[in-house]
Structure 1
């Protein structure tokens, strides 16, 4: 597992985790915001009127209503990114990372407006009567020109479709069930394999019905799960009301400097906060990734811009509202910088070849430089000497989850109901645990992802019952995301290999969903970052190429609206 994680981390460092990726994503959103004159602001109110059904007509082509398409797309974005992703971003980059998530969403509202409009414009009607769309269709069907000559971008469409299939696992399936099973285990003690098996069966029953059943389920799940989650979140925020203003200040005060050390948090520089905030913001709202256009392509409309306007609402709801609320829960409760007792993940353990003390400011600064890639420290290779579960080595520093680990105990991991302490030696190579003996490390360190949000929800009016709200909310959020992403994947498979390939894809999708329930969380998240980038890059190339097409589409919609709905108030198109 350690070797797999190192390999995936290397790949991620060149794409999703690379320095240039956040700039490419935000730069595209900023370009279209200026080029199209702030459509996310101008068309916001009009988008609300469209999604309310104000301009719906029964004879329009498509399979779902605007609201159902929005619910399906939202169910694909509102998921672990809002619960686990925010906690992971704050854990890595501090409160400043939350600011960059919000910036990603504000610009992403415009990016999603563009990609959904283009997808809807170039969607296809399949032999079974259903609609299929997405970036692969506008890459294939639109008129791309270089020097006045038309060029065929079907190769780019193929790359995107393959990336969509991969990302349906990396974004929609694996991290969702992994977060659910981890939370169910920590909250209720439910075996991860059992959680995976039950939900895999439920997933299979839903996705077999196709987009109409998916839309029917998600349109009911999304409002319900949002209500449950907000009740729990505001119970924490109001309970810690005196910390709200300091929490807001912390989000904006360290934007250009990074977050200083506080509590068990070592600190993060600007580059780390920026990169992780943008990366997690994209995972949360998927603006620019090209996934939501696939869901919106099924909506009943004959004017592509109307559906693009509906898509403006997604990043606003998903990130600016829900992620901000989650962030305030984490910050106001104070849990993000506290150490908590937890079972260590092997991929997040790092053992240094010297003794550093957290109480020593110089030592803490040295560890800060190491964790933020400024100056690497030598790592330990050798054996840990363990007696009755306690590590005897004094010339090492045990790090876990980017923090000094405390009170570390080593136990035998043999599936017993009671933990038995370990005595013996544990093999360490290059700072990581490579010993083949079944062991588990339990101690105090920073916590991230869904378990951190669960701890934060216990700091409210509901007390220890708050964690159950997170578990239920995560179950609904993440499960609905997995449902929607199965649809994205089967549309990509249809594009690549025809409709007969979908059944085989769905079988593999459900099987992978089950196995991901009990895999290493860090590896799952690293894989997710890679697959997100693989989809995003060709999509950004495509929409920038069609920028003039997009401006013309806005003009055409204005003419259509004034002719079809005379006398109705509308923004200036």
Structure 2
């Protein structure tokens, strides 16, 4: 298992984690934005009219309405990325990372428009009478690349577990346990029953449920966010100033935050933006293919709204909550994760400029930095280090009040600890203390700095539950459409049963290997999809022109 995990991480490093991947994704979005003359701006108002059903025709083929298809797609994207993804981007790259999330969403609006239109155009009606669509169908039926379509469909099935199922279940169970104290297996079992009741009913029930969950969870989250924003209104101006002002300079040190370079903020902002709205991944077109529409471009119009709602609206609210409350630069008591922990040689102080600069270069991977990993031993007495010559870095900050404990007994540790290349060799030692926090924990703390006080943390917990659960619902549909393409409609029910079982299992299990597998699968979905829509760029442009010709004939006054 460890060898497989290492191999997957290595593979991801050459694919999704590679420096060129964000440029490819943004490049395709920029190309289509210019090629189609900024459709995300020109067609934005029209998209809202389409989603309200103003231009719907009776008897149009499909399984659900424009709005419900949008809600299903949004439920797949509006999830943990909006709560933890934004916090993670700011923690890594500072306020400027939020700007790059906006840029990614703006270009992603066009990418969604293109991929949804083409996928809807080549959708098919299956044996059971339902619609099936997605990039695999245009790859097969239009590009005649069956092998590419099969690879995409297999990657979609894997991603349905690795992105939409197992990590979501694990995240919900962990959050509910931390907030309310319920055992993870109980949470997983109860939610597993609800999940089964929803997804076994097919797209119509999935769309009906998500069309109610998505608006409710969005309203709840927005109320909680504004409670913090209005409580810290005097900080909103400086927050926007730091977002825009740091774009071309990088984010400077503030509080426990040691700063980030332009390149680091760009990479992390783009990466989190793509994780949040999935533009270019090819997942949302599968949901939109079920919409009742005669004209594929009309459904493409609807999809323009997704990155706007997901990233520009909801992620911005999360970002403003974190920045205006100031928690992103504060150190908080927490247990240190090994993945975010390193021990460096030498003693560094946060209030010394030279020390901050040296650590800034180290954390931002600047070539030629002077900081080296610590090799040697640390003497610990009653949970406190009594030797010197090292500095503990956790969550990209200098850790304070560090306590060493024995994991199995939670007792203070006494003895000698060997450190090799900055890593603690003993597995059963747990470190805790004050450091920066990130992801959902950072957002949770930020939500307590508003009018609701400590009650704000429950809004985040409930939001995480609803966001993650709706994501699991949406991805079950993506997976079953991929199974329909690969093995036919009869394979869908066994897939759904395994999907529900996996959801329950993941609530109390380690899903680290699945995350690694999903990271690779997402790239295997994204790259073929981007290649395909670039191949069909001329067809896309012609389809848009034809749509407007027909539209103006039918609606001459608009």
After TM superposition, is the score higher than 0.5? yes
Contact 2:87–2:439 (8 Å) recurs in 1:
yes
* Aligned counterpart, 1:252: 244
Name the CA shift for 1:347/1:191 in 2 (closer, same or farther; >3 Å).
farther
CA-to-aligned-CA distance 1:169-224 (integer Å, 9 cap, x gap): 33212332333233323333344444334323332332222211111110000010
CA RMSD of aligned residues (A): 2.2
**Structure-2-length-normalised TM-score:** 0.94
Match of 2:556 in 1: 567
Shift of 1:527: 5.4
**Structure 1: distance between partners of 2:277 and 2:189:** 28
Partner residue in 2 for 1:400: 394
Residue equivalent to 2:234: 242
- Report the secondary structure of 2:401's partner residue: strand
Aligned to 1:312: 304
Deviation at 1:358, TM superposition (A): 2.3
Counterpart of 1:172 in 2: which secondary structure? coil
For residues 483-502 of structure 1, the aligned pairs below 5 Å read 483-502=473-492
How far apart are the structure 1 equivalents of 2:339 and 2:493? 35
Q: Provide the residue aligned with 1:210 in structure 2.
A: 202
Which residue among 352, 355, 359 is the counterpart of 2:351?
359
- Look up the match of 2:290: 298
Structure 2 portions without partners, runs of 5+: none
Query: Structure 2 matches for 1:43-58, cutoff 5 A?
Result: 43-58=43-58
Question: How many aligned positions are there?
Answer: 556
1:281-296 to structure 2, matched below 5 A, reads 281-296=273-288
Q: Helix, strand or coil for the counterpart of 2:164? A: helix
Partner of 1:442: 432
Deviation, 1:536, is: 1.2
Greater mean alpha carbon deviation, residues 350-359 or residues 109-118: 350-359
Contact in 2 for aligned 1:16/1:533 (Cα 8 Å) = yes
The answer to whether the Cα contact below 8 Å between 2:127 and 2:489 also exists between their aligned partners in 1 is no
Contact 1:183 1:451 in 2 (8 A): no
CA contact (8 A) 1:182 1:451 kept: no
Aligned match of 2:412: 421
In the aligned structure 1, how far is the partner of 2:86 from the partner of 2:206?
26
- 1:390 corresponds in structure 2 to 384
2:12 pairs with 1:23: no
Match runs of 1:105-124 below 5 Å: 105-124=105-124
> In the alignment, which residue of structure 1 is the partner of 2:521?
531
CA deviations 1:69-126 (Å, max 9, x no partner) are 0000010111111111100111111111100000011111111000000000000111
* 1:380-439 alpha-carbon deviations (Å, 9 max, x no partner): 34544332222333122211111111112122333x7xx4323334454432334243x4
Counterparts in 2 of 1:1-150, with a 5 A limit?
Answer: 8-142=8-142, 144=143
Q: Residues 441-500 of structure 1, C-alpha deviation per residue, up to 9 Å, x if partnerless?
A: 221111111111010000000001001111111111111011101111111122122233
How many Å separate the matches in 1 of 2:83 and 2:506?
Answer: 18
Residue 231 (1) aligns with residue 233 (2): no
Distance 1:521 1:443, change over 3 A: farther
Q: Is the 8 A contact 1:30 1:107 kept in 2?
A: yes
Contact 1:81 1:283 in 2 (8 A): yes
Matches of 2:90 and 2:305, distance apart in 1: 24
The corresponding residue for 2:336 is 344
Q: Which residue of 1 aligns with 2:424?
A: 433
**2 CA distance for matches of 1:83 and 1:382?**
39
| CA–CA separation in structure 1 for the residues paired with 2:172 and 2:386 | 36
The answer to whether the 8 Å contact 2:128/2:489 transfers is no
**How far does residue 156 in structure 1 lie from its aligned partner after superposition?**
1.5
Counterpart-to-counterpart distance in 2, 1:249 and 1:8: 40
Whole-Å Cα distance in 1 between the matches of residues 506 and 24 of structure 2? 30
Distance 2:329 2:515 in 1: 21
Residues 1:525 and 1:384: Cα distance change in structure 2 (over 3 Å): farther
Assess, with a 3 A threshold, how the Cα gap between structure 1 residues 194 and 383 changes in structure 2: closer, same or farther. farther
Cα displacement string for residues 125-181 of structure 1 (whole angstroms, at most 9, x for unaligned residues)? 110001110011111111x4xxxxxxx311221221122122223321233233323
**Relative to 1, partners in 2 of residues 1:178 and 1:399: Cα closer, same or farther, differing over 3 Å?**
farther
Contact 1:75 1:484 in 2 (8 A): yes
2:361: which partner in 1? 369
Q: 1:95 to 1:520 in 2, by over 3 A?
A: farther
TM-score (norm 1): 0.92
Alpha-carbon spacing, 1:348–1:135, altered in 2? closer, same or farther (3 Å) = same
Q: State how far apart, in whole Å, the 2-side matches of 1:297 and 1:258 are.
A: 41
